[in-house]
Amino acid sequence: MTVDLNCDLGEGFPFDAELIPLATSVNVACGLHAGGWREMERAVALALEAGVAIGAHPGYPDREGFGRRELNLPAPDVYALVLYQLGALEGMVRARGGRLAHVKPHGALYNRAARDLEVARAIARAVADFDADLRLYGLSGSALLDAAAERGLRAVSEVFADRGYRADGTLVPRGEPGALVESPLEAAARVQDMLRFGQVRSVQGPWLRVHAQTVCVHGDGQEALRALCGLRAALEDQGVVLRAP
């Protein structure tokens, strides 16, 4: 059994250097929802040194809300917004002799693309127009994966180790009960269910079908390092091969 272990980085939090070697791919913030040119360059350098795959993590231009507030931008603006951020990060990567591997939208933009096919298509079009060889990460069962397939992109189905799921397959909004899975042991057990049985229990109780090609652990929480260490160790103990797509 093989899976990718990805982490969101370059957002100005203190543990990037420790987190990067534990992941197999990283999603680097492109400077609009968090981070900036210094954080981007540092994350890229660390990722290239560690030999992990580098992805762009474009989000809404909402630093005050960390990109987690819905801005309701029209689809043409989303297209330009994503294209702009891909160019910024790709320049950092190419300057150091690397190349981008994938794109994963951030926060509210990611959640909107999971349910809004028009916005999902705008993101997929931006990725395809920029570089059709890039993979596009999206929530398992989401509209973003459908839009990627329409564009002929390689879609990667994502699940979350540290987030709760609602019965409709979407993530529980932050701030609501059950949104965060804070125990590394619980997170590891959930991921093992998703990998072995293709299912995860929702906060309402019913089991959901999921397809786990990549597993995300967020890098912005206080327990991020402990969570990623624990999850990686648990998966390796189960014989899971950790590798970027």
Q: Which residues, in sequence order, are bridge partners of residue 3?
A: 242
Residue 114 has pLDDT above 90, yes or no: yes
Look-up of token digits 């990549």? 214
Instruction: For residue range 138-178, list pLDDT tens digits in order.
Output: 999 999 999 999 999 999 999 999 899 999 999 999 888 88
Q: What is the pLDDT of residue 220?
A: 72
Look-up of token digits 């990667």? 156
Q: What is the pLDDT of residue 175?
A: 86
Q: Which residues, in sequence order, are bridge partners of residue 54?
A: 26
Q: How far apart are CA 8 and CA 237, in angstroms?
A: 24
State the residue range of the domain holding 153.
Answer: 2-242
Tokens of 194: 């998703």
Q: What angle do CA 72, 87, 244 make, to 5 degrees?
A: 90
Q: What is the pLDDT of residue 217?
A: 86
Give the Cβ contact number of residue 14 at 10 Å. 11
Single pTM value for the model: 0.95
Instruction: For residue range 170-227, list pLDDT tens digits in order.
Output: 999 988 888 988 887 888 889 999 999 999 999 999 999 999 999 998 877 667 888 8
Residue 51 has pLDDT above 70, yes or no: yes
Q: How far apart are CA 15 and CA 186, in angstroms?
A: 22
Give the Cβ contact number of residue 115 at 10 Å. 15
- CATH number of the domain at 80, please: 3.20.20.370
Tally of domains in the chain? 1
